[in-house]
Amino acid sequence: MKSKMLTPRFLFITIAIIAAAFSRLIPHPFNFTPIAAMALFGGACFSNKKIAFIVPLLSMFLSDCLLGFGFHNTIIYVYASFIIITLIGMYMRSNAKTGSIILASLASSLIFFVVTNFGYWAANNPTSGFSGLIGAYFAAIPFYNNDIFGSFFLNTIVGDLFFNGMLFGSLYVAQLRFPVLTKI
């Protein structure tokens, strides 16, 4: 089984996800990161379901540790959104075309926003009820305006589209050049 897992395709996908995770260490506009793209790409491209979760999650965790994020009161929600996005990738696995990748990328941005901001509300002020939850979502919007490039659209959505394009596009181009990468 080990030899079946260590295929050129497996290695390419794993290295691409690790590289994306470590690109978080390079200076970048606020929230312009490969987080959702790593999960979507892993879910769509790894044939082994366990590995589709493990490689992106482990890469995310290692880059989080290097960034000093460690453990915080909303980490479970960040990783839960990551798992949901991986499931979306698995769902679109057999139809990973440009249109479905773009749609899944947009959905991933929205899911990350909704789940992580729900987590912030749940961890900090759940007694405020539904109105507090809605307030948490509205309060989160300016959070996406922290720098000159800051906006939910530019940073999160375009960042997710950019990194999905890089990951899925690099695999597509590599498969054209090296057909062995198409073997699952």
**Tokens 């959702």, located at residue:** 36
Q: Residue 143 pLDDT more than 70? A: no
**What was the pLDDT predicted at 150?**
53
Ranking 53-67, 76-90, 139-153, 159-173 by mean pLDDT, the lowest is: 139-153
**What was the pLDDT predicted at 32?**
83
The mean pLDDT of 93-104, rounded to a whole number, is 92
User: CA 51, 64, 150, 28 torsion: positive or negative?
Assistant: negative
DSSP states of 115-163: HHHHHHHHHH-GGGHHHHHHHHHHHHGGGGGSSTT--IIIIIIHHHHHH
Helix (H) or strand (E) holding 23: none
Question: In this structure, are residues 44 and 93 in contact, taking their beta carbons and an 8 Å threshold?
Answer: yes
Q: How many CB atoms lie within 10 A of CB 117?
A: 21
**What was the pLDDT predicted at 124?**
82
pLDDT in tens, 1-47: 455 678 999 999 999 999 999 998 888 777 788 989 999 999 999 99
The mean pLDDT of 110-131, rounded to a whole number, is 85
pLDDT in tens, 53-82: 999 999 999 998 888 887 778 889 999 999
Cα-to-chain-centroid distance, residue 73: 20
pTM of the model: 0.88
Q: Residue 103 pLDDT more than 50? A: yes
